[in-house]
Amino acid sequence: MWDKLKAQRDRLDEIERLIVDPAVIADAPRYAALMKERGRLARPVARLRAFEDAREKRAQAEALLADPTADPEMRALAAEERDAARRAEEDLQRQLEEMVLTDDASAHRNVIIEIRAGTGGEEAALFGADLFRMYSKYAGRRGWTVGLVDASETDRGGFRQVVFSVEGEDVYRFLRHESGVHRVQRVPETEAQGRIHTSTATVAVLPEAEEVDLEINPADITEELFRRSSGPGGQNVNKVASAVRLIYKPTHLVVESCTERSQHQNRVLAMRLLRSRLYEQQMMKQKDAMDQMRRSQIGTGDRSEKIRTYNFPQNRVTDHRIGVTLHQLQRILEGEMDELIDALLRAEREKRLKALAKEAGGA
């Protein structure tokens, strides 16, 4: 823990030097990224420095108390100083431990969420629309902003796929555990005999990458323009090819954006999506190389992992990774996800605490 905090202190010192460099100030994206990182590091570093100050004060007081020639009044004052410094030290250590357990370089990021219909045909597409509405309402409750990037609707109002951004404070921290397979059990509207069907939709939560996170060579991107209807069933077909498809040639990764009327806006959205998918791939490679991160995860984070079941007949939502069942399905689908998200964050904290304790024990 202390090595990580000291590394953050050193990084903050480096940032303080960089942000007064004229060359850095002239590079607006880099300067903005550094200021954002500076804001994230300022609080834990301030706590670390306060902790070190309290520890130094305690050491000085203990040295005075150990001096047999010290004046009795000075010894009494030193005893008070030692006790106050010890209390401050213990309190600050608890705060620092909490910060380390919940800290993540990506926690503050905005996200791009992809929802795709899985098994179950039209019912899976309708469930995808339910999930989109659930996350949109949860975002609204937290004061976040939702923006549509790409969508492929069905005649009945479902989504074969929907891609959207969520912007706000600590979005990735709260939504990172939503990636995986979501399963619904209910009687479809088209089911005449009232039989319960099981359908699925996959959710991928991508921390949104910033321009400074990775460099993309424009020569590696092929752009295609095309038309797509803006509503279900083919209504309002655009007469101008304003939808944008980007193909990243090194890996053949394809992204699209068609929700805006102008090519420029769709191109900007598509680039955000491309950058975030490439950043996710980069993060996954780093995670594979870091065993500790795997131990502290809630599940694997794999899109193929079944993470949650929404059972309508029983008004039940079960998260299979942490064994939590809530009989509040309708409330959760209306965006009241706090109890479920909080349970996931607590489980993540406990896993990180165990990993930290194991690391300390093996050191």
111 with 175: CB under 8 angstroms? Answer: yes
With respect to residue 359, please indicate whether it lies within any of the assigned structural domains: no
Q: How far apart are the first and last CA of the chain?
A: 12
What's the pLDDT tens digit per position in 27-73?
888 888 888 788 878 888 898 899 999 999 999 999 989 888 888 88
Of the candidates 132, 152, 149, the residue with the CA atom closest to the CA atom of residue 140: 132
The yes-or-no verdict on residue 190 having pLDDT over 70 is no
Judge if 188 and 312 occupy the same domain. Answer: yes
CA dist., res. 172 & res. 187, Å (int): 33
304 vs 355, higher pLDDT: 355
CA dist., res. 6 & res. 11, Å (int): 9
The yes-or-no verdict on residue 282 having pLDDT over 70 is yes
The yes-or-no verdict on residue 121 having pLDDT over 60 is yes
Q: What is the pLDDT of residue 233?
A: 43
Judge if 172 and 246 occupy the same domain. Answer: no
Judge if 97 and 19 occupy the same domain. Answer: yes
CA dist., res. 203 & res. 308, Å (int): 11
Burial (CB count within 10 angstroms: exposed 0-12, middle 13-18, buried 19+), residue 310: buried
Number of domain units in the chain: 3
15 with 37: CB under 8 angstroms? Answer: yes
Judge if 93 and 119 occupy the same domain. Answer: no
The yes-or-no verdict on residue 329 having pLDDT over 90 is yes
Which segments of 103-228 does DSSP mark as H helices, in order?
122-141, 171-175
With respect to residue 332, please indicate whether it lies within any of the assigned structural domains: yes
With respect to residue 328, please indicate whether it lies within any of the assigned structural domains: yes
- CATH number for the domain spanning 228: value is 3.30.160.20
The yes-or-no verdict on residue 266 having pLDDT over 90 is no
298 vs 202, higher pLDDT: 202
Q: Which residues contact 333 (CB under 8 A, 6 or more apart)?
A: 130, 133, 134, 310
- CATH number for the domain spanning 323: value is 3.30.70.1660
With respect to residue 360, please indicate whether it lies within any of the assigned structural domains: no
Question: Using 50, 70 and 90 to split pLDDT, how confident is the model at 5?
Answer: confident
The DSSP result for 286-349, as a single string, is: HHHT-HHHHHTSSS---TTSEEEEEETTTTEEEETTTTEEES-HHHHHTT--HHHHHHHHHHHH
Q: Which range marks the domain in which residue 153 is found?
A: 111-208+290-352
What's the pLDDT tens digit per position in 298-317?
554 455 679 999 999 999 99
What's the pLDDT tens digit per position in 62-113?
998 988 888 888 889 989 999 999 999 998 888 787 777 666 667 778 899 9
Judge if 134 and 200 occupy the same domain. Answer: yes
Average pLDDT over residues 181-210: 86
Q: What is the pLDDT of residue 212?
A: 56
Of the candidates 256, 251, 245, the residue with the CA atom closest to the CA atom of residue 223: 245
Name residue 117's beta-bridge partners.
201
